[in-house]
Amino acid sequence: MGGERTPRVEASDAFGAEARVDAVIDALGIRGEVSSAVIVEATRQVAAAFASLHDLEVEFPTPSGLGALPTRSPEVSR
């Protein structure tokens, strides 16, 4: 595991990461029971993941395109 910061993600609230983690803490009912260090690290992971997902476009099959589950090619996805 470990982790490497995705260089393009500088702000911890990129892609709504802070709000997403905040909502999780409330949904689980554990506010005040996890440390700020845990929250910061979780937020960093969510921000980095959604930044990379932003580059990933998955096309789901449709009735007019059966069988298709292609992704945008890596060459044009950035």
Partner 1 sequence: MNAGPVADACALDASSALRAYAVGDISPVDVISAHISRINRLDGGLNAFVNLRADLAMAEARASEARWHRGAPVGPLDGVPVSVKDLMAVAGMPMTAGSARPWAVAVEDAEAVRRLRAAGAIVIGTNTLHEYAFGGTSVNAHVGTPRNPRDPSRIAGGSSGGSAAATAAGMAMAALGTETGNSIRRPASFCGVVGMKPTFGRVSRHGVVPLAPSLDHVGAFARTVPDVALVIAAISGHDPRDVGSRHQPVNGPVGPRATDGLTIGVPRSMLRGIDPAIGSAFERALRAFAAAGANVRDVDLPLASRWTALVSSIVMHAEAATVHRSRFTSDPGSYGADVAARLLSGHAFLGFGLVQALAMREAIGAEVSRALARNGGVDAFVAPGVPGPPPVIAPGAFVPGDAPWSSEVGPFHLQRLPSMLGLPAGAAPAGWSSDGLPLPIQAFGRHWEESIVLSVLMAGMESVPASEVRGIAGGAG
**Contact set with partner 1 (CB under 8 A):** 1-4, 6, 17, 20-21, 23-25, 27-30, 33-35, 37-39, 41-42, 45-46, 48-53, 55-56, 58, 60, 69-71, 73-74
Q: Whose Cβ is closer to partner 1: residue 35's or residue 64's?
A: 35
Which of residues 64 and 78 has its CB atom nearest to partner 1 in the complex?
78
Closer residue to partner 1 in complex, CB, 10/23: 23
Please state the φ and ψ torsions of residue 71, each to the nearest 5 degrees.
-115, 160
Write down the least CB distance from residue 64 to partner 1, Å.
18
Non-local (6+) Cβ contacts of 24 within 8 A are 42
